[in-house]
């Protein structure tokens, strides 16, 4: 494939934007080469500035669960835009999407909308601290909760790709309040809680980790976390920025039948516009300003275009009884197909999958936490990435990311992808 125009556009971008991108993983630093500039997208396909068509397995890192330029979302945004794009005053549509979200997600009474997943997680932790009167938090190595200071301690996603899981600029004072555990290691969590008794406000976790590849929680791991939280007056925060409205209507809480205390959302909830949200029961949410003392605000929070896109998306997901099964079936088909051709080509691999999240690791051991994810053969991943790109398939430009399956993919697209893996496997 030819990427002349993308290369030229990247050179121009580098002059005026740090690294040429507005979010680091986009720069292809993890895999080498020049990032692709998108011109437009429809359904399961991206069309780049050089006229190439790519089957998209990233889908804006999750939001486009029903495909790009999904008609009801586009219509809703156009219609809203004609009536004004921001007021900084309440609008009815904010209540409508809040009511719908509260009806879909278990165990929440109220939801507050913000503009990104980062803001959602940052605000959720502040609320947990304000509610409990405690300062420390526990997070898991390799989990990513956005780029706010408390979370850039052994963070996953781009932070891992670039080898800066701890960012300069995060003060020692902030870092000391973030305690680290290993994903799926309940004993490690018990030890932390025992040594910092009565100081821990919350445990924040991706209920299915998606920022070190896709890593499912071990059987009973989330339940054990729930029990530890209950025994120690710690709030359990599920960061469902990836899993919310993706793994089920009610997200991971519904899938695993477990209640968290605060739930963070992003990605799908905004239908592709900049939206995040956090939600909880009344007793917790009523601590937020203006009802309570925990401050949180936003000029563009609840923005009408963003709410229109999110409402159209959630309505669609709420009304389509089979969408989550369809997504899981497509992902299972892809999993089985890729597994088969990699095995036939004698390529050592492990594939992890939950619902419509999936990741391919070039290592034979189980991938259960950050350390096992980091063991994968990164050189092979880079070759795999570029090989797939040459076949017209766009996967995440880093081994530390999950792929997001969209319902717009046909089985023909999946067969094409599996055959591409077969071809690429011969070159690895």
State in angstroms the smallest separation of the CB of 210 from ligand PMP. Answer: 6
Instruction: Identify the active-site residue in 48, 56, 177, 239.
Output: 239
Beta carbon nearer to ligand PMP, 276 or 387: 276
Query: Among residues 80, 139, 267, 330, which one is catalytic?
Result: 267
To the query of whether residue 267 is one of the catalytic residues in this protein, the response is yes
In the bound complex, what is the minimum distance in angstroms from residue 119's beta carbon to ligand PMP? 7
CA dihedral 5→10→13→19, nearest 10 degrees, is 170
Nearer to ligand PMP by C-beta: 114 or 414? 114
| Residue 401 touches ligand PMP, criterion: CB under 6 A | no
Contact characters 274-313, ligand PMP, x per CB under 6 A:
--x-------------------------------------
Active-site residue, 333 included: no
Residue number of the CB atom closest to ligand PMP = 117
- Identity of the residue, 210 or 304, whose beta carbon is nearer to ligand PMP in the bound complex: 210
Q: Is 47 a catalytic residue?
A: no
Residues 188-207: x where in contact with ligand PMP by CB under 6 A, - otherwise, as a string: ------------------x-
Query: HEC profile for the chain?
Result: CCCHHHHHHHHHHHHHCHHHCCCHHHHCCCCCCCCCCEEEEEECEEEECCCCEEEECCCCCCCCCCCECCHHHHHHHHHHHCCCCCCCCCCHHHHHHHHHHHHHCCCCCEEEEECCHHHHHHHHHHHHHHHHCCCEEEEECCCCCCCCHHHCCCCCCHHHHCCCCCCCCCCHHHHCCEEEECCCCHHHHHHHHHHCCCCEEEEEECCCECCCCCECCCCCHHHHHHHHHHHHCCEEEEECCCCCCCCCCCHHHHHHCCCCCEEEECHHHHECECCEEEEECHHHHCCECCCCCECCCCCCCCCHHHHHHHHHHHHHHHHCCCHHHHHHHHHHHHHHHHHHHHHHCCCCCEEEEECCEEEEECCCCCCCCHHHHHCCCHHHHHHHHHHHHHCCEECCCCCCCCEECCCCCCHHHHHHHHHHHHHHHCCC
Is 355 a binder of ligand PMP (CB under 6 A)?
no
Nearer of residues 80 and 267 to ligand PMP, judged by Cβ? 267
User: Can residue 418 be called a binding residue for ligand PMP (CB under 6 A)?
Assistant: no
Confirm or reject binding of residue 210 to ligand PMP (CB under 6 A): yes
> According to CB under 6 A, which residues from 42 to 81 bind ligand PMP?
61
Distance CA 414, CA 331 (A): 9
Q: Residue 3 or residue 144: which is nearer to ligand PMP going by CB? A: 144
Is 116 near ligand PMP (CB under 6 A)? yes
| x/- letters, 135..174, toward ligand PMP (CB under 6 A) | ---------xxx----------x-----------------
Residues 216-245 that bind ligand PMP (CB under 6 A): 239, 241-242
**Under the criterion CB under 6 A, does residue 266 sit at the interface with ligand PMP?**
yes
Q: Which of 45, 144, 183, 394 is catalytic?
A: 144
Per CB under 6 A, residues contacting ligand PMP are 61, 116-118, 121, 144-146, 157, 206, 210-211, 239, 241-242, 266, 276
Annotated catalytic residues are 144, 239, 267
């Amino acid at each position: 494939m030819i990427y002349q125009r993308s290369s030229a556009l990247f050179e121009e971008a580098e002059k005026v934007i740090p690294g040429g991108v507005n979010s680091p993983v986009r720069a292809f630093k993890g895999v080498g080469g020049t990032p692709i500039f998108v011109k437009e997208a429809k359904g399961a396909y991206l069309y780049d500035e050089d006229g190439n068509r790519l089957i998209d397995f990233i889908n804006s890192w999750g939001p486009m669960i029903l495909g790009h330029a999904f008609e009801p979302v586009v219509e809703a945004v156009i219609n809203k835009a004609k009536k004004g794009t921001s007021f900084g005053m309440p609008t009815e549509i904010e209540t409508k999407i809040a009511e719908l979200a509260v009806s879909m997600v278990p165990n929440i009474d109220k939801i507050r909308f913000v503009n990104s997943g980062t803001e959602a997680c940052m605000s959720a932790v502040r609320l947990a601290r304000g509610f409990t009167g405690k300062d420390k938090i526990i997070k898991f190595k390799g989990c990513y909760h956005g780029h706010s200071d408390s979370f850039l301690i052994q963070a996953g996603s781009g932070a891992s790709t670039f080898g800066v899981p701890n960012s300069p600029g995060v003060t020692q004072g902030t870092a000391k309040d973030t305690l680290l555990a290993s994903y799926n290691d309940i004993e490690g969590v018990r030890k932390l809680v025992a040594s910092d008794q009565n100081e821990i406000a919350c445990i924040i976790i991706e209920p299915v980790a998606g920022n070190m590849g896709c890593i499912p929680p071990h059987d009973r791991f989330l339940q054990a976390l729930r029990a530890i939280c209950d025994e120690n007056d710690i709030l359990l925060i599920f960061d469902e920025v990836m899993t919310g409205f993706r793994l089920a209507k009610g997200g991971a809480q519904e899938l695993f039948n477990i209640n968290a205390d605060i739930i963070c959302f992003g990605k799908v909830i905004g239908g592709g516009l900049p939206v995040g949200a956090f939600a909880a029961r009344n007793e917790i949410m009523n601590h937020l300003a203006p009802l309570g003392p925990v401050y949180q605000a936003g000029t563009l929070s609840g923005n009408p275009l963003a709410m229109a896109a999110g409402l159209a998306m959630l309505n669609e997901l709420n009304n389509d009884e089979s969408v989550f099964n369809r997504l899981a079936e497509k992902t299972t088909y892809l999993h089985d197909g890729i597994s088969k051709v990699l095995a036939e080509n004698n390529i050592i691999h492990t594939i992890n999958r939950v619902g419509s999240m999936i990741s391919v690791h070039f290592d034979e051991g189980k991938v259960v936490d950050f350390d096992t994810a980091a063991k994968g053969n990164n050189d092979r991943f880079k070759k795999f990435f570029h090989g797939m790109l040459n076949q017209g398939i766009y996967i995440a430009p880093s081994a530390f990311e999950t792929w997001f399956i969209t319902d717009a993919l046909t089985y023909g697209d999946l067969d094409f992808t599996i055959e591409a893996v077969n071809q690429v496997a011969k070159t690895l």
